[in-house]
Amino acid sequence: MLWTCPLVAAARCPVRLSRPCPRPGPLLLGILCRQVRAAAGSAGVECGPALKTPKGTRDHHPAQMALRERLFGTVVACFKRHGAAAIDTPALELRETLMEKYGDNSRLIYELQDQGGELLALRYDLTVPFARYLAMNKITNIKRYHIAKVAGGGRYDGLVGMFDPKGRKVPCVGVSIGIERIFSILEHRIKASGEKVRTTETQVMVATPQKHLLSARLKLISELWDVGIKAEMMYRKDPKLLKQLQYCEDMGIPLVAIIGEEELRDGVVKLRDVATREEVDIPREELAAEIRRRLES
């Protein structure tokens, strides 16, 4: 007798039994199908869409993003010190804008299908989009920064003229920062040094030592947010104090504002230094100023 489970049928691999027998019930059929799935997985057979990023791309985890933001912040601060303004251009450009502007590198441009009557392409870098921006807005004098991940630089005097009806040249000089290369170097250095990168900028954790104090936590953290202090709390009804303190150590949060029944009664907040574990009672109205003083010292 021949019967086939749905998964096996899809694989064109029917199961042949040595002698006739009743069709298996749902329980046995389910067990057999699970065994087939396990066997298919161990044999390297794909059972669904591949979960991967496109070739040449990668995800960035929180620690990596924190490092990238630090890097971008350093670069942008340098541009700002020298009076540069920020601009941005779309990731998509008309295909005709990009083609034949990069020489042999034109083959690296990703083209898109016709969208609403326009042939589009993903920009390869920021040089040609910037030239298009200048010509389109009739700009002849600008000092700007335009953040991207592609390295390059040089003089581009003739590039703007490609988009100008009269072919007028606009003197241009540019330099690009190899962000991805620098990021890779920083990643390796930090990994080698064992440095722990903070993934948040939280300055203080609002914690409670007893149950039924969720509203007290919410009220205190709102007060801190209102005066511009970066604060967070555990979004559970009654978290244990030890877990809250351990979270601070894991995340590198320097201060903990502890508010319990006694603190509520006395009108104070217990401020804890995570590094030294020193605790001191601070009048509630003075808490924000004390937090700022400690962070600045």
Tens-digit pLDDT string for the chain (297 aa) = 444 444 444 444 444 544 555 565 666 666 666 766 666 555 555 557 889 998 878 899 999 999 999 999 999 999 999 999 999 999 999 988 888 777 666 677 888 877 678 889 888 888 889 989 999 998 889 999 888 766 767 787 788 888 887 777 888 888 888 888 899 999 999 999 998 899 999 999 999 999 999 999 999 999 999 999 999 999 899 999 999 999 999 999 999 999 999 999 999 999 999 999 999 999 999 999 999 999 998
In the DSSP assignment, the letter for residue 97 is H
C-beta separation of 214 from 238 below 8 A: yes
What's the CA gap between 173 and 288, in Å, rounded? 48
In-domain check, residue 107: no
CA torsion, points 277, 278, 284, 285, in degrees to nearest 10?
-120
In-domain check, residue 69: yes
Nearest to 270 by CA among 261, 235, 223: 261
In-domain check, residue 121: no
C-beta separation of 217 from 259 below 8 A: yes
In-domain check, residue 156: yes
pLDDT for the residue 289: 97
For residues 72 and 38, membership in a common domain is answered with no
For residues 257 and 215, membership in a common domain is answered with yes
pLDDT for the residue 23: 61
Give me the domain span that covers residue 143: 62-89+126-180
pLDDT for the residue 25: 64
For residues 71 and 171, membership in a common domain is answered with yes
Residues 6 or more apart whose Cβ sits within 8 Å of residue 191: none
C-beta separation of 92 from 123 below 8 A: yes
pLDDT for the residue 229: 98
In-domain check, residue 196: no
The one-letter amino acid code at 115 reads Q
pLDDT for the residue 252: 95
Site of tokens 């779309």:
90
CA torsion, points 214, 216, 218, 224, in degrees to nearest 10?
-150
Nearest to 221 by CA among 239, 209, 203: 203
Give the pairing type, strands 144-145 and 85-86. parallel
Residues 6 or more apart whose Cβ sits within 8 Å of residue 83: 143
For residues 24 and 131, membership in a common domain is answered with no
